Chains A and B, each alone.
Chain A
Amino acid sequence: MTFLGMPPFPQAAREALGDTQLRRNLAHATATIRAKRAAVVAEVPEWEELRRAGAAIKDNTLRQLDRHLLRLERSLTDHGVTVHWARDAAEACDVVGRIARSHGVDEVVKVKSMATQEIGLNEALAAQGVTAWETDLAELVVQLGDDLPSHILVPAIHRNRAEIREIFLSKMEGTDPELSDEPAELAAAARRHLRQKFLSARMAVSGANFAVADTGTLVVVESEGNGRMCLTLPEILVSVVGIEKVVPTWADLDVFLQLLPRSSTGERMNPYTSTWSGVTPGDGPQEMHVVLLDNGRTRALADEIGRQALRCIRCSACLNVCPVYERTGGHAYGSVYPGPIGAILNPLLKGVGTDAQTDSLPYASSLCGACFDACPVRIDIPEVLVHLRSQVVDVRRGPRPHAEAVAMKAASWTLARSGRLRIAERVSAVFSRLGRRRLPGGRRAVTRLPWPGSLWTDARDLPAPPAESFRKWWRRDERS
């Protein structure tokens, strides 16, 4: 799930910040989508009510998750679907690979799916001699460019049209060298390239946005029609579904099919939504499998505060409003789940204390709260970030106190007696002259302190202490 060899967030972020092309691409893309989302959300007077309904349905479902999963299993089985369970990524990839090989299939077409990204399915299938073709345009750009996804909805958001044209010319067989960088022409080139794959593939792999327990209905929400192709044309369909995707009833979809498109692409409705409840004789795949995937979800479920992250419907609204994401891009988060949701989901799925990269993610935020306001299922991401920070601190508490703990101790010693504070204030007034740079608003800031202060100033500006302390000003002001 973590990109191999990924450095912790601060280091990766610094590299990303140096890439001006990336920052331009991201600023343009996120500003566009923010404006679209704001316009279609404003059209719905009961939006807040819908968000509360979405959160409540998901919470109630998660609290009875085992029951709903059993119900889902029975409904799927009743409608001719074979249900598999996978504890982790390796087990899930193994199930999909075995189904492919048992039919002698060496090529599968894929609908864009976060779950299959998360488990590294394409790489696992390749190791078993099965080629997986991504059919979503952005996923195709990422796959052909031998690149990593950087956004949940638009994995190639970091690429602009000129870069996409280059990738198509060099990596997509039979691309016309006269191809321009007009988005419509690029999309048409992808259409020609993939059409043959759709018509010849015998097996497709999808995820699902929702899985309805009492009817066994799976739902795939998409834009391009590649999903419809994959869900309709092949003989065999395997859907990898995270266990948190279950909703109890068909009626619950009326909330989510309003929340998701407006939050995600900023449309009243996405171009295509496919729903199916098992095998339809004579229409679509006649052999269907569903792989129910845990891969850390029950671990997240056990975390009382973190549990709310499992409400996530993968809309990516939190990425588009995040000031940190807008500047660093998705790669810095080192996972297929970037941005604010990734900063909580990755540590929750994997557990803190396993690696430095994961432990750095809860700090990849200024806690401004824009993500919470945008979240269609009201995940209080700042609350979970703070909670996970405390877990990271606890798990990293070694025999020797950490620099941060020492600084906090010193601060509490100083603040405990007014005499000590007075001395500290005199010293800090001297330091006020160190501020070389002006922060927005005009206050001086220190950009670099010597060690151990450098641990702080490496990634942040330190506002310089004011020349006059509050207490000094108070005394002077009272006298006059």
Chain B
Amino acid sequence: MNARDEILAAARGALAQARSEESEVPGVHRKPVKLPDLVGLFVERVADYGVVVRRCAESEVAGAIAEALADARTVAVPDGFPHPVTGPAPSGPRTADAVVTTVAIGIAETGTVVLDHGPGQGPRVFSLLPDIHVCVVRGDQIVPGVPAAIAGLDPLRAQTWISGPSATSDIELDRVEGVHGPRSLRVVVVDA
């Protein structure tokens, strides 16, 4: 027998007695959550990771992005990025100091941004190699928690969930920020 058939046969043999049982999966965590101030909670939780968060109106986005890029000399701008980017010289993701992207979803409870690498977000390498990642999140993209995010995302698209800057706790379980991913994450929240 080949490995595949042997493993499947072993699994079937092991389970002969157990097939008919089924455990009930509690679903309380999937009940819709109403949070009084979704955007406020998102801003607070993102900032908890030591991320600089700037909340602004639609008309102020370009200025907020320019401010977030103040210390970058070059910036990678993915196709379809909807806001004007002024200041640093444009560059590719492998050489740029910074990158600007939009997101697919923001998660308030965990302070997470999720990229599904659609228009405005670039392929995965864009948000990985530059040392500064500036993320623009619209208020209406923010969902309460992980269940709502999972329900709203397309599993067939590659995704990157980002919660704060790259970090490690590998040395005495002390959190150190900035290992291989962008060492600085900056988030601009646009009130829709």
**Which residues does chain B contribute within 8 Å of A307, judged by CB atoms?**
18
Instruction: Tell whether, in the assembled complex, residue A298 and residue B169 are in contact, meaning their CB atoms are under 8 Å apart.
Output: no
Tell me, in angstroms, the Cα distance from A183 to B159 when the chains sit together.
30
Interface string of B2-29 (1 = CB under 8 A from A): 1110111011111101110111111111
Instruction: Tell whether, in the assembled complex, residue A91 and residue B172 are in contact, meaning their CB atoms are under 8 Å apart.
Output: no
Tell me, in angstroms, the Cα distance from A267 to B165 when the chains sit together.
13
Contact partner of A187 (CB less than 8 A), chosen from B22, B30, B117, B171, is: B171
- Min C-beta distance of A248 to chain B, whole Å: 11
Tell me, in angstroms, the Cα distance from A184 to B174 when the chains sit together.
10
Tell me, in angstroms, the Cα distance from A50 to B25 when the chains sit together.
9
- How many contacts A-B (CB < 8 Å)? 242
- Min C-beta distance of B159 to chain A, whole Å: 5
- Min C-beta distance of A256 to chain B, whole Å: 9
Whether a CB of chain B sits under 8 angstroms from the CB of A387 is no
**Which residues does chain A contribute within 8 Å of B3, judged by CB atoms?**
84-87, 91, 294
Instruction: Tell whether, in the assembled complex, residue B173 and residue A46 are in contact, meaning their CB atoms are under 8 Å apart.
Output: no
Interface string of A273-295 (1 = CB under 8 A from B): 11111001011100000001010
User: Known interface pairs A32-B173, A63-B15. Does A187 touch B28 (Cβ–Cβ under 8 Å)?
Assistant: no
* Highest count of chain B CB atoms <10 Å: which of A29, A66, A217: A66
Contact partner of B23 (CB less than 8 A), chosen from A55, A232, A267, A282, is: A55
Instruction: Tell whether, in the assembled complex, residue B170 and residue A271 are in contact, meaning their CB atoms are under 8 Å apart.
Output: no
Whether a CB of chain B sits under 8 angstroms from the CB of A76 is no
Tell me, in angstroms, the Cα distance from A270 to B111 when the chains sit together.
10
Instruction: Tell whether, in the assembled complex, residue A60 and residue B7 are in contact, meaning their CB atoms are under 8 Å apart.
Output: no
Number of residues from A at the complex interface, CB < 8 A: 93
User: Known interface pairs A56-B25, A65-B15. Does A183 touch B167 (Cβ–Cβ under 8 Å)?
Assistant: no
Instruction: Tell whether, in the assembled complex, residue A275 and residue B170 are in contact, meaning their CB atoms are under 8 Å apart.
Output: no
User: Known interface pairs A66-B11, A137-B179, A273-B161. Does A228 touch B150 (Cβ–Cβ under 8 Å)?
Assistant: no
- Min C-beta distance of A201 to chain B, whole Å: 13
Tell me, in angstroms, the Cα distance from A105 to B42 when the chains sit together.
44
* Highest count of chain A CB atoms <10 Å: which of B2, B17, B176: B176
Instruction: Tell whether, in the assembled complex, residue A154 and residue B14 are in contact, meaning their CB atoms are under 8 Å apart.
Output: no
Tell me, in angstroms, the Cα distance from A112 to B51 when the chains sit together.
26
Residues in B lying within 8 Å of A, measured CB to CB: 2-4, 6-8, 10-15, 17-19, 21-30, 45, 48-49, 107, 109-112, 117, 123-125, 128, 145-147, 149-151, 155-174, 176-182
Residues in A lying within 8 Å of B, measured CB to CB: 25, 28-29, 32-33, 46, 49-50, 52-53, 55-57, 59-60, 62-66, 69-70, 79, 84-87, 91, 135-138, 141, 154, 156-157, 160-161, 164, 183-184, 186-188, 190-191, 194-195, 198, 212, 215, 217, 223-226, 228-229, 231-233, 243, 250-251, 253-255, 257-258, 265, 267-277, 280, 282-284, 292, 294, 298-299, 301-302, 304, 307
The 4 closest A-B CB pairs, nearest first, are A225-B181, A302-B14, A298-B10, A225-B180
- List 15 A–B pairs whose Cβ atoms lie within 8 Å, in order of A's numbering: A29-B172, A32-B172, A33-B169, A46-B29, A60-B23, A66-B15, A138-B168, A243-B7, A251-B150, A269-B107, A272-B163, A280-B117, A283-B123, A294-B10, A304-B17
